[in-house]
Structure 1
Amino acid sequence: MVKMLIIILCIILALFVIGSITFLFTFKKNRIESPDAQIRKNEELLSTNRKVWMRNTKRTVLVSKYDYFESFEEFPFNSEFNNTKEYLLKNNFSFTTTNDVIKELKEAQSKILNFWLVEQRKLLKAFDQTGLEDNYQNRNFLMKFYNESLNIYMKVVTQGFVPRILKAKIDFLKGDALLDIDKEVNLMHSWFTKAIDELINELYKQSGVYQQSESYTNNSQYQQYSYQQQRQSKMSDQFSDINWAYQTLGVTEKSTSDEIKKQYRKLAMTYHPDKNKTTEAKDKMVEINRAYQFLKSINKVN
């Protein structure tokens, strides 16, 4: 009888322990997944992703034939062309010629970046058209498509811009070849269009929210998709790099160039390492600089 009582007490104690653990686990989970905490997790996910992408992406590209590396340190994969400037000056090109070349390269880079943003907006709109709710799991799912859009830009820069414009410009200066920059930029725009369209198709296939039908126009086959648009989440706004830049600087798309410059200087006074020695301030200053250079690259800042 005593043995049976002990067994019963042990069973009751075990059930109590299991119940307590289950309660604590459920409470913790619910607390973590509260709306405010979910929003913070979502925001941190994108912020961390941009930093990781920058850190894990090789930021220099070999300019073949001329045997020097150009650095692409600006988000998403842009350059100030300081190494190209140094190369030209070392090879006896005048300051005027060198500065003109750098100006042309920056203008071409800006056009390419803006073309990419136009195509990327199509992808971000597709994020909304999937009808996925804005939560941490769905953002993780969409993140790989966002990252692939960044990779597309990087590939076009490394495989298109550098050999077909940057290197070709030096060839042109040396009298080795002709160069039509506008033609090359438009070619790269077509690369973006094709790559992003393929990425969108893959997004719909993996999210399982499209119906596919086939039709023919001018003897060419194309696909038309009808999308489930209920419960649209506007995640396009969250992933938008332009929105990120504006939000980082604390300005809006309606802010003038002078207002953006003024706000940037204000933030720099607060977070510059000479003014603020904390690690958080250093990281913040890096992000502020990236956002400011990004807006300059797309001609939002003169």
Structure 2
Amino acid sequence: MNNIFIFLIIFALISVFSSSGGFWYRKSRGKRGAKGERTFDVFEKNKMIWLQRVQKTHQIPFYGIEEVFNVFPFFSDYNEVKSWLIKKNISSKKTDLILLTLKHYEENFMKYWIEQERNLLIAFDKINLPQSQRAIDFLLQYYNLFLDVFQEQMVNCYIQKIIPAIIGNVLEEDPQKIIHGQQNNDFKHFLHQKIEEFYMNLNNDVQIIIQQLYADINSMRYTNSSFNQSEKNQQSYNFNEQASELGKAYKTLGVDEQISDQELKTKYRQLAMEYHPDKNDSHQAKEKMAKINAAYDLVKKVRNIK
């Protein structure tokens, strides 16, 4: 977190004192393939670019499992964990319990990630930037910092501490071997403590990003007259509606966030009847159904629909 704070301070100084217009000035790196792309599309591309550049393979301590975290925003299919458990002749019952527990933790982290993403996007809305590619480019830098701090918490807290404890608890390992050096050497208490630590640290990091965003934009409005002029008579974005992961899911399903759970289920069944491979064998339908399923799964998790 200290590194993030230092980076943001440097970032702010550059924006205020740069003679080329701070953040708003950005040298061209070739023509954009789709000038004026929708905000949604730009954010989606950015997410994939971000995921491609981060280190995705991490070792789970104590067990030495090299797992791959390549599911946005930084999750895993746990294929390596499963292979390791099978090689160690762990019973299918315990193997399934470990994998289900890991997915359960991911679901909770995804809910919190969505909450924090919403907080950041609402902050984007509050500064009321004009509709321009430069506005998106400017804010994407802060959005990527959000993705970075989430990954940092996933590595330092979840991968390094929580996953070994989950595996050790199910395999009935001696807690002293896995969570040694902690005040409480009981797996359940340890996991509860680390989850709370995860939430607290991520919330603090996001608040730092938001406060620095406000400080930077106020400095720019005070020092940059051309920036102030560009804001006049231009429609502002609604980032919370256009760029959120949850918003994307609702759009994919063709519904709004006010829909009831029962209406949502009905809508999903209608889409499945139209795009399911048993009803429609085209390649486009297969891709569409995969997106519908992913969107429906996310909305169900957020709403706690079984």
TM-score by length of 1: 0.67
Find the partner of 1:204 among 189, 205, 214.
214
Q: Give me the whole-angstrom Cα distance separating, in 1, the residues matched to 2:289 and 2:55.
A: 21
1:45 aligned onto 2:14: no
TM-fit CA distance, 1:297? 5.1
Q: Which residue of the partner structure matches residue 157 of structure 1? A: 154
1:252 aligned onto 2:259: no
TM-fit CA distance, 1:242? 0.5
Q: Name the SS for the 1:117 alignment partner.
A: helix
Q: Name the SS for the 1:252 alignment partner.
A: coil
Q: Is the 8 A contact 1:70 1:81 kept in 2?
A: yes
What letter corresponds to residue 235 of structure 1 in structure 2? F
Relative CO higher for 1 or 2, CA cutoff 8 Å, sep ≥ 6? Answer: 2
Q: Give me the whole-angstrom Cα distance separating, in 2, the residues matched to 1:264 and 1:72.
A: 30
* Within-5 A mapping of 1:49-64: 49-64=46-61
Report sequence identity in percent. Answer: 25
1:9-54 deviation digits (Å, cap 9, x = unpaired):
xxxxxxxxxxxxxxxxxxxxxxxxxxxx74x443432232122223
Highest CA radius of gyration, 1 or 2?
A: 1
TM-fit CA distance, 1:87? 2.1
Q: Which residue of the partner structure matches residue 13 of structure 2? A: none
RMSD: 3.3
> Which structure's residues are more often strand, by fraction?
1
Quickly say closer, same or farther: Cα 1:295–1:58, change in 2 above 3 A.
farther
Q: Give me the whole-angstrom Cα distance separating, in 2, the residues matched to 1:82 and 1:231.
A: 47
What letter corresponds to residue 269 of structure 2 in structure 1? K
Q: Which residue of the partner structure matches residue 166 of structure 1? A: 163
1:145 aligned onto 2:142: yes
Find the partner of 1:192 among 196, 202, 224.
202
1:230-287 deviation digits (Å, cap 9, x = unpaired):
97642222221110122234343326363465366457537x9x94457xx8876775
Q: Name the SS for the 1:58 alignment partner.
A: coil
Q: Which residue of the partner structure matches residue 135 of structure 1? A: 132
**Higher deviation after alignment, 199-208 or 70-79:** 70-79
Q: Name the SS for the 1:208 alignment partner.
A: helix
TM-fit CA distance, 1:289? 6.0
Q: Which residue of the partner structure matches residue 32 of structure 2? A: none
Q: Name the SS for the 2:105 alignment partner.
A: helix
**Higher deviation after alignment, 130-139 or 286-295:** 286-295
1:114 aligned onto 2:124: no
Find the partner of 1:262 among 253, 269, 274.
269
Q: Which residue of the partner structure matches residue 14 of structure 2? A: none
Q: Which residue of the partner structure matches residue 76 of structure 1? A: 73
Q: Is the 8 A contact 1:62 1:69 kept in 2?
A: yes
* Within-5 A mapping of 1:234-249: 234-249=238-253
1:96 aligned onto 2:93: yes
Q: Is the 8 A contact 1:74 1:290 kept in 2?
A: no
Segments of 5+ residues of structure 2 without an aligned counterpart are 1-34, 176-185, 222-233
TM-fit CA distance, 1:138? 0.6
Q: Name the SS for the 2:58 alignment partner.
A: strand
Q: Name the SS for the 2:276 alignment partner.
A: helix
TM-fit CA distance, 1:160? 0.9
Q: Give me the whole-angstrom Cα distance separating, in 1, the residues matched to 2:130 and 2:254.
A: 27
Q: Is the 8 A contact 2:131 2:235 kept in 1?
A: no
Q: Give me the whole-angstrom Cα distance separating, in 1, the residues matched to 2:203 and 2:245.
A: 18
Segments of 5+ residues of structure 1 without an aligned counterpart are 1-36, 212-229
Q: Give me the whole-angstrom Cα distance separating, in 2, the residues matched to 1:122 and 1:150.
A: 13
Q: Is the 8 A contact 1:74 1:293 kept in 2?
A: no
TM-fit CA distance, 1:161? 0.7
1:193-216 deviation digits (Å, cap 9, x = unpaired):
1100110111112212799xxxxx
Q: Which residue of the partner structure matches residue 6 of structure 1? A: none
Q: Give me the whole-angstrom Cα distance separating, in 2, the residues matched to 1:58 and 1:301.
A: 33
Corresponding pairs, count: 244
Q: Give me the whole-angstrom Cα distance separating, in 2, the residues matched to 1:89 and 1:142.
A: 45
What letter corresponds to residue 155 of structure 2 in structure 1? T
